[in-house]
Amino acid sequence: MRPGERRSWTSWGLVVLAVLILFLHELGWLRPLESILVVPLTPLQRLAASLGRSALGTVGFLREIRELRDEVQRLRAQAEDLQTENLRLRELAAENAELKALLGIVQENPQVTFVAATVIGYETDPYLRYLILDVGTRHGVREGMPVITRGSALVGRIAAADLNRSRVRLLTDGGSQVGALLQTTRASGVVIGQPDGSLLLDFVLPDEEILPGDVVLTSGVGGQIPRALVIGQVTEVLGSGEPFRRARVRPAVDSRRLTYVLVITSFPGMEASP
């Protein structure tokens, strides 16, 4: 028999065998044999089903991990955005409080003329203490005018002004001097800026009393700075062996924290700057 004929007979034989098995299955004659074969196959079926469930569970677990990781990244980005927004709102609240305090000064002193200004820079020379403002002569600002901040605290005086900019010599600058008055004892003197950025109350008469903690105000002598602006507070009374009594004064203003200020352009009794 040729090879081609052998394959043909084999195929026909398999077909006849399949038909015979199907016929016997329908008659029920193969049930005992099927029962015997099902017993060893049952554990395999259970194992396959268990592996299938495990595989599906693993796929679902990995999907949940990816979803959780995406959710964590989303929440982290949201938290960072909220933190940034919170910082921005806190800054806006601080600026609003500062502006509200300055507005209160303007409303409480209708007889005084003010120009509101923003601090836009600082003097880079370490031996000079100046602020740079965004107002100048076109806004009515002139040399010698006092500059204040919240609490009617004196910042300094205009040292120079051009059309749209001006420089403020701070009280703590070594070239600054302003007439002073102690709030409690009413002793008068001069507050002088020191090279280290501190303030010194000097030229107080020997018979005048200086109390630690006393508030130091402007005396208004000379007519160029209003009376009763806050300069600072006495922190230490120095030795009395000098011709005049002296004391260290803590400034009321931290110039590094200033954002907005007021320039006093006129006030009752103001005299022209020399």
- Contact status, residue 111 vs residue 267, Cβ threshold 8 Å: yes
- Where the chain has pLDDT below 70, the residues are 1-57, 59-61, 91, 124, 126, 240-241, 272-274
Q: What is the pLDDT of residue 57?
A: 63
Q: What is the pLDDT of residue 183?
A: 96
Tell which of 81, 108, 135 closes a domain.
108
In a domain, 274, yes or no: no
Instruction: Please choose, from the candidates 135, 176, 138, the residue with its C-alpha nearest in 3D space to the C-alpha of residue 157.
Output: 176
Same domain, 197 and 245: yes
What would the pLDDT profile of 7-56 be if each residue is shown by its tens digit?
A: 555 656 655 665 566 655 556 555 665 555 545 555 655 655 565 556 55
In a domain, 273, yes or no: no
CA 117 – CA 108 distance, rounded (Å): 18
Per the structure, the complete domain to which residue 30 belongs is given by 1-108
Q: What is the pLDDT of residue 99?
A: 82
Same domain, 119 and 104: no
Same domain, 83 and 147: no
CA 215 – CA 12 distance, rounded (Å): 119
Backbone angles phi, psi at 104, to 5 degrees: -60, -40
Q: What is the pLDDT of residue 43?
A: 61
In a domain, 101, yes or no: yes
In a domain, 271, yes or no: no
Q: What is the tally of structural domains in the chain?
A: 2
Residue 238 in 3-state DSSP?
A: coil
CA 101 – CA 116 distance, rounded (Å): 12
